[in-house]
Each structure stands twice: as C-alpha cells, then as structure tokens.
Amino acid sequence: MPFESAALSVASSRTSASLGTRAKGFRGRIVRVGGPDLRGLPVGDGVELERRLLEIGFIENALVEIVHEGLIGRDPIAIRVNETTVALRRREANAILVEPVG
C-alpha cells in the first residue's frame, strides 16, 4: 500500500496544470502555451491571448517561476521566464500549462 500511494503521489506531482492555479514560489517548465481548451475565453480572444503570450516571451519548454503575487485575491502574479519578468492575471495565466520541476 505505501508503494502504491508513493507511485500515485509521484504521478500527481508531475501532472501538468495551469500556471494560474500555482502558488507563489512555484518553479516549472512550460508544457503548452494556449491551445484549444482555454477555459472561459471566447475563441477569438484565446487565439489573440496565445499570440500575445508568445510575443512577450512565454514558449514551450522554457523554465518559469512565480516570483510575486498581489495582495487581494493573490492576483495578479509576476512570473519570471528566461530573462523577462511578466505580470499577468491568474485568469490569463491559465492559458499556460506547466509542470513542476526540481
């Protein structure tokens, strides 16, 4: 039983989840920017958001770290990606899929 739950916990820690759901201090790697199943955004806006995220520096396989978050509702968040630090609302950060690293 302990072996099984250990295996399960390893699997869940390697699961991808949206960057917007992560806590301050999270370090990870980008799995996907944008994509077909962006929650809560009309299709056109999703395409636009994906392009803007790519333009400002978010790209698959890049390492990211959440370095700050706002006081009210822990929003917005500041994310370091490569040499750039970008501030985003969690709602928009949900368009980025990340997996933890290290």
Partner 1 sequence: MTALDTATPPLSGRPLAGSPRSGPSLARIALVGNPNCGKTALFNALTGSRQKVANYPGVTVERKLGSLVTPAGRRVQVLDLPGTYSLRARSPDEAITRDVVLGRQVGEDAPDAIVCVADATNLRQVLRLVLELKQVGRPMILAVNMFDIARHRGLEIDLEALARALGIPVVASVAVRKGGTVELMRRIDALAEAMPASVETGSITTGDWTEPAADEVRQAHREADRILDLVVRTSGRPAIWTTRLDRVLLHPVAGIVILLVVLFLMFQAVFTWATPAMDVIKDGFAWLSAMVNESLPPGMLRSLIADGIIAGVGSVLVFLPQILILFLFIILLEDFGYMARAAFLMDRLMGGAGLHGRAFIPLLSSFACAIPGVMATRVIENRHDRLTTILVAPLMTCSARIPVYTLIISAFVPHATVAGVIDLQGLVMFGLYATGIVSALAVALVLKRVFWRGAVEPFLLELPNYKLPDPKNVLLGVLERARIFLRRAGTIILAMMILIWFLSSVPGAPDGATDPAINYSIAGRVGHAMAPLLEPIGFNWQISIALVPGLAAREVAVAALGTVYAVSAGDDEALRSTLATTLAAHWSLPTACALLAWYIFAPQCASTLGVVRRETNSLRWPLFLFAYMIALAYLAAFATFHITTALGL
**Interface with partner 1 by CB under 8 A: which range of 3-11, 15-23, 74-82?**
74-82
For residue 76, cis peptide bond before it (omega within 30 degrees of 0) = yes
* Number of residues forming the site for partner 1 (CB under 8 A): 32
CB-wise, 35 or 99, nearer to partner 1? 35
Is residue 21 involved in binding partner 1 (CB under 8 A)?
A: no
Is residue 20 involved in binding partner 1 (CB under 8 A)?
A: no
d(CA 62, CA 57): 9
Longest dimension (CA), the chain: 48
